[in-house]
Amino acid sequence: MRSPSGQQSHLRYPLTLLFGSPGKVRVLRVLGDGLSSSTTQIASAAGLTPQGARLVLDVLTAQGVVTVKGSARTQLFELAAVHPYRHAILERFKAESSAWEDVVIRLRDRLNLRPGAKTAWLYGSVARGDDTPASDIDLALLVSTHTVGDNVREDVMPIEDELKVRVSVTALTAQELAALGEGDIWWSDLVRDARVLKGGRPEAAMKTARRSVAA
């Protein structure tokens, strides 16, 4: 893809500059919570270096979308209380947050349709928050039978079709879970990253599975 070849009018097309980099989007997302924050706080929350955050803040301040309070040593930044695009910015990030929450709710709703899906976790890049457009939604299940896992795969197909994403379902019975070795890399990564969708934490599920198999 070719880079833009010319400057666009700021007054006619202000969103080009306003949302023109991932750094700006990250900083605006942080400031969208309505709190006054320091450069260090914004950098940490946005996943930027302090220097990178400061460069973005300087541009956004020059545009008038961000205001600064305090002295040079104790500056706090916030979204401008009066700006033509303040409401639109807040609404965009609210919609972004609601869309993700809706995905989680829909996954939980489908899992709750299957009593045989005893426990479920998000894991992998989506759970860590470093997924890309090419990433799957990785879902691990503790199931009574593998038929339940197949049913869940069918249940999530409408979500896949709507979001244009693949939900990768890994279903384990209690016997299969208990058989995983202490050093199993896949399981260790899952425990580290897991976000519970149904049931409890994976560590607790492992203990229960091993007790039931040993009984």
Q: What superfamily does domain 102-214 belong to in CATH?
A: Beta Polymerase, domain 2 (3.30.460.10)
Q: What is the pLDDT of residue 1?
A: 46
Q: Can you give the residue ranges of every domain in the chain? A: 14-84, 102-214
Query: E strands of 28-162, at which residues?
Result: 66-69, 76-79, 117-123, 137-143
Q: What is the mean pLDDT of residues 80-100?
A: 89
Report the CATH architecture of 14-84: Orthogonal Bundle (1.10)
Task: Evaluate if residue 80 carries a pLDDT over 90.
Answer: yes
Asked if domains 14-84 and 102-214 share a fold, the reply is: no
Global pTM value: 0.77
pLDDT tens-digit profile of 151-160?
999 999 999 9
Spatial separation of the C-alpha atoms in residues 150 and 156, rounded to whole Å: 10
pLDDT tens-digit profile of 12-30?
666 666 777 889 999 999 9
Judge contact between 149 and 177, C-beta under 8 A. Answer: no
* Other beta carbons within 10 Å of 36: 15
Mean pLDDT, the chain, as a whole number?
Answer: 90
% the chain with pLDDT above 90: 70
Q: Residue 42: name the closest of 68, 64, 63 by CA.
A: 68
